[in-house]
């Protein structure tokens, strides 16, 4: 058992996974006219059989952008999260110039890419995905964590086709104390403990060590992605409560559900200003009924789905929170089955990578990959 935290020199970077504003780029990956990359597929030098997603963030860039508090919040949120639908953080490391988050590698890409490839998702598919995200969001809120940047880009797909929430860079925590070992250790219970939730002493040390910066400027007001912002974040931008309420996450889930079922976010438009107007006016372009091959009127969104989306996209934050309390009882989830057994459900989409180091599902926005989605045994 490892008794000390490793250093970043114990890892090797295999290939880039994604780009980001604060990423570090090893010289071998630097190319003209490309954005800096911040997430890499990596492995330990002494054991290359276990793959990790390694997020590398420049301290200088974070200081320049006044984002020091955000990376600390992201590390802390991931460190205390032990949920099957939230990405697992193994180590939090740092050097004089960089912060490194060593996370599990999820080979299936992200939900945004899947929606783009499939066009839209059938309701049986979307309902399972939605159930898994509801569990993740409730888990976070119960622990005083508000994600604040829920969107399909930040929802990853596992090798078995399940979802995991990632990217807590805009999250807020209702507590601000330093992490303790008890925060990141799994509390035993009568149920079987997933092996992935056990942490070695070295992992505990790395996750509870303070991140050091030369300066800690005040946290700025940063919104998130326009299409997924709740109306109160736009109407009351100077009010801290507007962006720090759990209600903003439930709004975003309503947007995501609409996007899964139609292929586009409900408030999408040509400019951020137009998007904001659509949100404030609650201008939802519900799909019109169409005639099927039998001449019967059908709609892309069922009454149950429309009911749930409408409840989550309420202008009133308290109404969203009221919906959230009993959301698992909503008719939209009638066909999902026991939520306690979702991990064992056969998923409609399961990635088929070429090998364990395949990053192709992150590259389509990668047209080379085949996305086979199955409903009732039929490939769509």
| Beta strands in the chain, from DSSP E residues, in sequence order | 11-19, 37-44, 47-58, 89-94, 98-104, 145-146, 155-157, 163-165, 172-173, 290-291, 297-298, 374-375, 378-379
Is residue 138 a contact partner of residue 328, using CB atoms and an 8 Å limit? Answer: no
Report the C-alpha gap between 179 and 182 in whole angstroms.
Answer: 8
Report the C-alpha gap between 120 and 130 in whole angstroms.
Answer: 14
Classify strands 37-44 and 47-58 as parallel, antiparallel or unpaired: antiparallel
SS3 371: coil
47, 110, 149, 354: the active-site residue:
149
Report the C-alpha gap between 202 and 323 in whole angstroms.
Answer: 41
Per the annotation, the verdict on 149 as an active-site residue is: yes
Report the C-alpha gap between 371 and 363 in whole angstroms.
Answer: 13
Look up residue 169 and give its two tokens. 């860079």
Report the C-alpha gap between 76 and 171 in whole angstroms.
Answer: 10
Instruction: Give the DSSP per-residue string, 112-176.
Output: HHHHHHHSS--HHHHHHHHHHHHHHHHHHHHTTEE-----GGGEEE-TTS-EEE---TT-EES--
Is residue 263 a contact partner of residue 120, using CB atoms and an 8 Å limit? Answer: yes
Report the C-alpha gap between 177 and 196 in whole angstroms.
Answer: 26
Least Cα distance to 263 among 121, 111, 108 occurs for 121
Least Cα distance to 327 among 136, 144, 106 occurs for 136
Report the C-alpha gap between 344 and 328 in whole angstroms.
Answer: 18
Residues serving a catalytic function are 149
């Amino acid at each position: 058992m490892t008794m000390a935290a490793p250093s970043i020199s114990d890892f090797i970077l295999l290939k880039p996974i994604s780009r980001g504003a604060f990423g570090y780029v090893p010289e071998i990956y630097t190319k003209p006219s490309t954005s800096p990359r911040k997430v890499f597929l990596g492995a330990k030098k002494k054991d290359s059989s276990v793959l990790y997603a390694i997020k590398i963030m420049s301290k200088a860039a974070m200081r320049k952008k006044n984002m020091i508090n955000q990376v600390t919040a992201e590390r802390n949120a991931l460190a205390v999260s032990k949920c099957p639908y939230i990405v697992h953080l193994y180590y939090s490391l740092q050097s004089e110039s960089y912060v490194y988050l060593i996370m599990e590698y999820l080979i299936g890409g992200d939900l945004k890419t899947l929606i783009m490839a499939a066009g839209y998702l059938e309701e049986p598919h979307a309902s399972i995905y939605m159930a898994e995200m509801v569990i993740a969001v409730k888990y976070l809120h119960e622990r005083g964590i508000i994600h604040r940047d829920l969107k399909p880009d930040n929802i990853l797909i596992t090798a078995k086709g399940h979802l995991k929430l990632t990217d807590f860079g805009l999250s807020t925590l209702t507590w601000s104390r330093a992490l303790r070992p008890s925060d990141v250790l799994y509390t035993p219970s009568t149920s079987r403990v997933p092996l992935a939730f056990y942490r070695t002493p070295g992992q505990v040390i790395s996750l509870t060590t303070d991140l050091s910066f030369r300066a800690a400027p005040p946290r700025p007001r940063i919104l998130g992605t326009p299409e997924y912002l709740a109306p109160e974040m736009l109407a009351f931008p100077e009010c801290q409560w507007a962006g720090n309420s759990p209600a903003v996450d439930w709004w975003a889930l309503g947007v995501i559900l609409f996007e899964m079922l139609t292929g586009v976010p409900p408030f999408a438009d040509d400019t951020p200003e137009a998007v904001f107007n659509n949100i404030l006016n609650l201008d939802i372009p519900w799909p019109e009924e169409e005639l099927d091959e039998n001449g019967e009127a059908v709609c892309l969104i069922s009454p149950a789905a429309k009911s749930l989306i409408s409840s989550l996209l309420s202008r009133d934050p308290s109404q969203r929170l009221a919906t959230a309390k009993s959301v698992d009882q909503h008719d939209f989830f009638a066909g999902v089955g026991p939520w306690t057994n979702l991990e064992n459900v056969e998923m409609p989409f399961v990635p088929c990578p070429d090998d364990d180091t395949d990053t192709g599902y992150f590259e389509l926005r990668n047209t080379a990959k085949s996305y086979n989605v199955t409903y009732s045994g039929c490939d769509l």
